[in-house]
Amino acid sequence: MLTARQVLKVAGLAGKIILTNGAEIYRTEDTIMEICHAYGVDDVESFVTPTGIFLSIDDGEYVHTKLKRVHNRTINLDKISKINNFSRQLQEETLSFQQALAQLQKIEADGPEYSFLTVTSLTSIACAMYVILVRANYINFFPALIASFASQLMIKQSGFLKEINYIPEMIAGFIAGLVAVLFHRFGAANYNLSVVTVSGILAFVPGVSATNAIRDAIDNDLISATSRGTEVILSSISLAAGVALSLGGLNL
């Protein structure tokens, strides 16, 4: 049987992993509660925000509390799926503290399943499909592909700049707009400036964050909904500012 502190460590780490990889607030709290219940802990309270996890367990004699600070967040649905499977596994077979911690640490340390080039290339193709979606001339497909690939490549290779909030989105918007302008000005007359630009920034549109903000609002997690909503607005403004800089810099 695990001690309260050990349960706190396992549940807190699982919650941190899914929260930092794009999970909604309710999913994070439910996962923490399910893990605690699997270890026989019923008197547990969890309070999750986009930047932190507060977890408390009452073992009848003492109240044990743990705080997990979350600084950086990304989108990795594969890790969320693995944590969900881990939580379900505990309902069927209770793992020892060492086994549970080892599994969680492995999930946290796992790198991307596919190579950088594969992910970037396939994402660029998907973004370039916007040309087909809006029924633009197919001649725009290649410029859209290049705009998306160039913006992603620049961000992922930009070093410390990608660690500064909203700067990557601004750079991505600038690169996408710049590529679109170059093709429009020096390429064929049929190149559509707006379609190529939008395709170039699609990979950075905060769609998952917007969806999570709405879900959090529906679940009455107003702090998280407001925080995520603000993040979505600022990311969108940064993308738009980057595009405006590239178009305005070339007087278009």
Q: Read off the pLDDT of each residue in 103-108 and give the average, rounded to a whole number.
A: 92
Residues 53-97: tens digit of each pLDDT: 999 998 878 888 988 888 888 888 889 999 999 998 888 888 888
CA geometry: angle at 192 spanning 189 and 197, to 5°?
135
What residues contact 176, with CB distance under 8 A and at least 6 apart? 147, 148, 150, 151, 196, 197, 199, 200, 201, 242, 243, 246
pTM score above 0.85: no
Q: What are the phi and psi torsion angles at 75 (to 5°)?
A: -120, 115
Residue 252 has pLDDT above 60, yes or no: no
Per-residue pLDDT band at 162 (split at 50, 70, 90): low
Q: Read off the pLDDT of each residue in 117-135 and give the average, rounded to a whole number.
A: 91
CB 70 within 8 A of CB 16: yes
User: Which stretch of 68-72, 110-114, 188-192, 218-222 has the lowest confidence by average pLDDT?
Assistant: 188-192
Per-residue pLDDT band at 113 (split at 50, 70, 90): confident
Q: Read off the pLDDT of each residue in 25-30 and give the average, rounded to a whole number.
A: 90
Sign of CA dihedral 127, 205, 167, 107: negative
CB 81 within 8 A of CB 110: no
Beta strands in the chain (DSSP E): 44-49, 52-58, 63-69
Per-residue pLDDT band at 11 (split at 50, 70, 90): very high
Question: What whole-number distance in Å separates Cα of residue 143 and Cα of residue 128?
Answer: 8
Closest C-alpha to 45, from 37, 57, 53: 57
Question: What whole-number distance in Å separates Cα of residue 49 and Cα of residue 24?
Answer: 10
Residue 247 has pLDDT above 80, yes or no: yes
**One-letter amino acid for residue 180 of the chain:** A
Per-residue pLDDT band at 234 (split at 50, 70, 90): very high
CB 35 within 8 A of CB 16: no
Residues 188-203: tens digit of each pLDDT: 667 888 899 999 999 9
CB 25 within 8 A of CB 48: yes
Q: CA separation (Å) from 127 to 88, 114, 130? A: 35, 18, 6
